[in-house]
């Protein structure tokens, strides 16, 4: 909660994060209202996002933190941290996106040896190998017994755990992707900070001149306000709606122009800002690539109607 405008208060907070990381940030409220401090590790990025982002400022910060965190995980002191290594083992590595992104960064940013990546993967594959061996031994043993993994027979219902479910637990692991968990935690803090900052008239005016948020982040902001009941809830919602409606209207117009200029009649008209509308609408509707992503290593089973 932002202190009252009549206050002149300073504060400092330290927050512990995953993989041995922590952040400290300062907040200041002067007589004139909320002052955003440039070296504040929570409010500073929000201001940077407003200035630098082309589209959703929280998506801009999500992508930046994603790369920074993966680069942090490639540092020797993190790779050799047994607690974090246990997290990676329990998650069976990383989700699909972060497994591939981790690999790319490990080679392109840290030389061509890939040692850090190999060390993480060694821990994961040894865990999987042990679990596979245990399940294979159990399967062979149960074949000879009356209680066994139930293999499907047409027209019969399962009465015991399936072989698929047993191996699914081994492949999926017991925890979420460590990178996804970290990003969700950071995103939550930034979202909360943004909503708090929207209580300040000067910042709200600055936000209202921006591109606003993607729809997933907009929905997250509305849910946060709805659940927590911020004192500045009305001001924050009005600002969010104003920017979002303007953005949606602009994208609607750009799509119409893009499609119109592809017709034979108007094909010779010079292209304008509508040329990038497909990229703009993609990010508006779904957010940046990987946002709120959840990847299963096994396919979802579609249930038949009836």
Nearest residue to 59 (alpha-carbon basis) of 190, 203, 151, 226: 190
* Three-state secondary-structure class, residue 239: helix
Whether residues 36 and 71 fall in one domain: no
Do 72 and 95 fall within a single domain?
A: yes
In a domain, 186, yes or no: yes
CA distance 90 to 123: 10
Q: Are residues 278 and 221 in the same domain?
A: yes
Query: Is 72 within 8 Å of 103 (Cβ atoms)?
Result: no
Q: For residue 91, what are the domain limits?
A: 67-152+159-177
Shared domain for 188 and 62, answered yes or no, is: yes
In a domain, 293, yes or no: no
Does 130 reside within a domain? yes
Closest CA to 92 of 18, 173, 19, 181: 173
Give 10-residue mean pLDDT values along the chain (306 residues): 38 51 46 44 87 94 94 89 93 93 84 83 93 83 62 49 78 90 94 92 92 96 89 90 96 94 81 89 94 70 42
Do residue 128 and residue 34 come from a single domain?
no
Number of domains the chain is built from: 2
Determine the pLDDT at residue 111: 57
**296, part of any domain:** no
Whole-number pLDDT of residue 22: 53
**For position 295, what pLDDT does the model report?**
65
* 4 inside domain: no
Are residue 139 and residue 214 in the same domain, yes or no? no
Predicted local confidence at residue 206, as pLDDT:
93
Who's near 283: CB < 8 A, 6+ residues apart? 55, 56, 59, 214
Q: For residue 102, what are its two tokens?
A: 């981790």
Whether residues 50 and 140 share a domain: the answer is no
Res 16: pLDDT: 52
Sequence-ordered list of residues with C-beta below 8 angstroms from that of 214, at least 6 positions apart, any chain: 55, 56, 58, 59, 283, 284, 285, 286, 287, 288, 291
Question: Are 127 and 251 in the same domain?
Answer: no
Residue 305 has what pLDDT?
41
């Amino acid at each position: 909660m932002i202190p009252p405008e009549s206050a002149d208060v300073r504060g400092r907070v330290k927050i512990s994060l995953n993989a041995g990381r922590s952040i400290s940030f300062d907040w200041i409220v002067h007589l004139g209202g909320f002052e955003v401090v440039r070296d504040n590790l929570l409010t500073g990025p929000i201001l940077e996002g407003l200035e630098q982002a082309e589209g959703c400022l929280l998506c801009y910060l999500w992508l930046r933190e994603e790369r920074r965190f993966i680069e942090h995980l490639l540092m020797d002191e993190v790779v050799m941290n047994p607690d974090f290594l246990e997290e990676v083992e329990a998650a069976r590595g990383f989700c699909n996106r972060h497994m591939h992104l981790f690999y790319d960064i490990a080679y392109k940013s840290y030389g061509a040896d890939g040692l850090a990546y190999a060390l993480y993967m060694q821990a994961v594959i040894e865990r999987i190998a042990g679990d596979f061996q245990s399940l294979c031994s159990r399967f062979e043993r149960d074949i000879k017994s009356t209680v066994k993994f139930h293999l499907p027979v047409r027209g019969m219902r399962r009465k015991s755990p399936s072989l698929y479910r047993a191996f699914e637990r081994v492949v999926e692991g017991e925890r979420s992707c460590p990178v996804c968990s970290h990003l969700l935690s950071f995103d939550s803090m930034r979202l909360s900070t943004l909503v708090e900052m929207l209580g300040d008239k000067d910042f709200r005016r600055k936000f209202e001149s921006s591109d606003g948020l993607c729809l997933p982040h907009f929905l997250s902001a509305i849910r946060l306000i709805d659940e927590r009941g911020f004192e500045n809830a009305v001001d924050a919602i009005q600002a969010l709606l104003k920017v979002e409606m303007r953005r949606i209207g602009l994208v609607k117009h750009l799509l119409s122009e893009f499609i119109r200029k592809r017709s034979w009649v108007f094909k010779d008209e010079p292209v304008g800002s509508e040329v990038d509308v497909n990229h703009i609408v993609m990010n508006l509707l779904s957010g940046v690539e990987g946002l709120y992503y959840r990847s299963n290593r096994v396919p979802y089973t579609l249930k038949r109607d009836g």
